[in-house]
Amino acid sequence: MFIFNDKNYDISIKFFYETSKIPSFLKDIKVFEGKESQSYFDAKMKVLYIGLGKRNNDKMILFKATVNGFRSIKDFSFEKVNIILNSVDKNDILFVIEALFVARFSFSMKKDEKNRTIVFIFDSVYKNYVEEAYKIAEARNFVRKLVDMPSNMLTTNEFVNYIENRLKNLNNIDIKVLDYDQLIKENFAGLIAVGKGSLNPPFFVKIKYEPKSYNKTISLIGKGIVFDSGGLSLKPTESMLDMKGDMAGAATVVGIIEILSKNNIGIKVNAYVPIAENMISGHSYKIGDIITYRNGKSVEITNTDAEGRLILADAIIEANKDDSSITFVVATLTGACMVALGTHIYGVFSSDVETGKVLVDFVNKKTSEKAWLLPLFEPYKENLKSKIADIKNASSSRWGGAINAALFLKEFVENKKFIHLDIAGPFYDDGIGIMDKMATGIPVESLYMFLSKYFI
């Protein structure tokens, strides 16, 4: 919650760069110099000082500094917080405010730990920044909540309910849900194969955002695996620990559509969310199986832990039929991408290299998130050749796993541009330092901002 121009508050927060004019008493006692992620709480004056580091700093660092600075006082008793932004550069204001709203929320099922109500107070001169940052942060926190929610709570059916309830009252949105019987009738081959091993049935959600006025149309697809055991290609325990969040791509799609609708952004979006749980039973799909999709393409299963690409193929086939000129796919697709780029950066694969370069350049320079362009290296298609089907779902080679997965997806795209975001690294904070081994909500901010700038 936020309000403007209220003089009654419990504490204040002030931000400073290293080169800002920092109060002399702070320098004298040598506790605060405005350095990156440095914070100091003056209990007597009830002021929290947060250091933002160097001016023109990396916005991810700025975001991290704000989150960690605010959380440094989480054990203090306060409800109303006055936010003083007059020392923050114009280009940084949105991200500082967004970080505050993000820092305020965390998912917890602890008996005695609840998210308390904190009201931020801003000067009304920042009204536009505050309202935009709040919308982004609220969508991002929705994604974080779902990703951190255990799969016994976020079943496939509950995920559908969350999507419908989140979007049903927003403008210009239409939702259609296909259940298991409809999936069989229409031959969603990948979704049926992956989902049939679980007691929780698969679903396919179609979401259309169509404002009254728009110039461009895109398809937006998100992977919705509510839990990934690996299937018969069973993951070791440690690799399963964050697999309740294997639906981060799908949640991201929902979050982005929410912001687009709230801001009435002039872009039409056809979104597709395949939802399933990859589990083991007597009904599970097996290594050696061949599945045939609606477009006639057959796939030999060589690894049941390469399930995400199978359900995404169904969504891509659906997107091929719509009126969009480009398809975006968002997925926690491969550990290989995380090996290549680490925990902070998501991989971008683009059939149109120039569009991919524009996206990556925008993300790295204009948002608090990080991306890197990776190649759709066509010779690696040899890794996916099958002797008995059109393509294999996984390579037997250890190398180029993220590229192989992206090439698999590209095989299903027809007559439109294709961009795939592999978010396996940053969807969960395993080293970024902002969410302490919890969901981050990446890439809600960057992909929303890119779409609203380049596709209206």
Q: Choose which CATH entry (3.30.420.40, 3.10.20.880, 3.40.640.10, 3.40.630.10) describes domain 138-454.
A: 3.40.630.10
Phi, psi of 276, rounded to the nearest 5 degrees: -160, 170
Residues in the chain: 456
Stretch 327-335: mean pLDDT, rounded? 98
13 pLDDT tier (thresholds 50, 70, 90): very high
pLDDT at 70 over 90: yes
CA distance 359 to 86: 31
Rounded distance between C-alpha atoms, residue 268 and residue 324, angstroms: 8
- Which residues are within 8 A (CB) of 191 and not within 5 positions of it... i.e. 6 or more apart? 183, 202, 204, 274, 276, 310, 311, 314
The span from the CA of 359 to the CA of 364, in Å, is 9
Q: Tokens standing for 35?
A: 């350095």
420: DSSP letter: E
- First CA to last CA distance, the chain: 29
Judge if pTM exceeds 0.95.
Answer: yes
For residues 350 and 322, what is the distance between their CA atoms, to the nearest angstrom?
Answer: 20
pLDDT digits (tens, 9 = 90+) for 181-220: 999 999 999 999 999 999 999 999 999 999 999 999 999 9
What is the structure's pLDDT at 328?
98
Assess whether pLDDT exceeds 80 at residue 114.
no
Q: Are 287 and 304 in contact (CB under 8 A)?
A: yes
Q: Where are the beta strands (DSSP E) in 280-344?
A: 290-292, 298-300, 326-331
For range 369-387, the mean pLDDT: 98
Where in the chain is CATH 3.40.630.10? 138-454
Token pair belonging to 254: 């929902």
Question: What are the start and end residues of each CATH 3.40.220.10 domain in the chain?
Answer: 2-118
**What Å distances lie between residue 218 and 257, 263, 329, 421, CA to CA?**
12, 17, 11, 15
Question: What is the pLDDT, as a whole number, of residue 436?
Answer: 86
> What is the mean predicted confidence (pLDDT) over 425-446?
95
Read off the pLDDT of residues 146-167 as tens digits, 9 standing for 90 and up. 999 999 999 999 999 999 999 9
**Residue reference for tokens 């998501």:** 346
Between CA 52 and CA 92 the distance in angstroms is: 10
Please tell me the predicted confidence (pLDDT) of residue 75.
79
pLDDT surpasses 90 at 41? yes
Residue 112 has pLDDT above 90, yes or no: no
The predicted-structure confidence for 245-304, as pLDDT tens digits, reads as follows: 999 999 999 999 999 999 999 999 999 999 999 999 999 999 999 999 999 999 999 999
User: 11 to each of 16, 35, 101, how far by Cα in Å?
Assistant: 17, 21, 16
For residue 113, pLDDT beyond 80: no
Q: What is the mean pLDDT of residues 233-248?
A: 97
The pLDDT, as a whole number, for residue 117 is 87
Supply the pLDDT for residue 456: 87
Query: What pLDDT does 396 receive?
Result: 85
Buried b (16+ CB within 10 A) or exposed e, 273-301: bbbbbbbeeeebbeeeeebebeeebebbb
Contact in structure between 177 and 204 (CB atoms under 8 Å): yes
Cis peptide before 443 (omega within 30 of 0): yes
Q: What confidence category does residue 402 fall into, taking pLDDT thresholds of 50, 70 and 90?
A: very high
Pick the catalytic residue from 46, 80, 145, 235: 235
Q: Is 235 a catalytic residue?
A: yes
DSSP 342: -
Question: Please, are residues 317 and 295 in contact by the beta-carbon 8 Å criterion?
Answer: yes
Indicate the average pLDDT of the chain: 96
Active site residue: 196, 268, 309, 410, which one? 309
Active-site residue, 309 included: yes
Q: Which CATH number fits domain 2-118: 3.50.50.100, 3.30.420.40, 1.10.510.10, 3.40.220.10?
A: 3.40.220.10
Over 90: is that where the pLDDT of 27 sits? no
**Cα–chain center distance at 413:** 22
Contact 69, 104 (CB under 8 A): no
Dihedral angle at the C-alpha atoms of 427, 210, 364, 51, nearest 10 degrees? -70
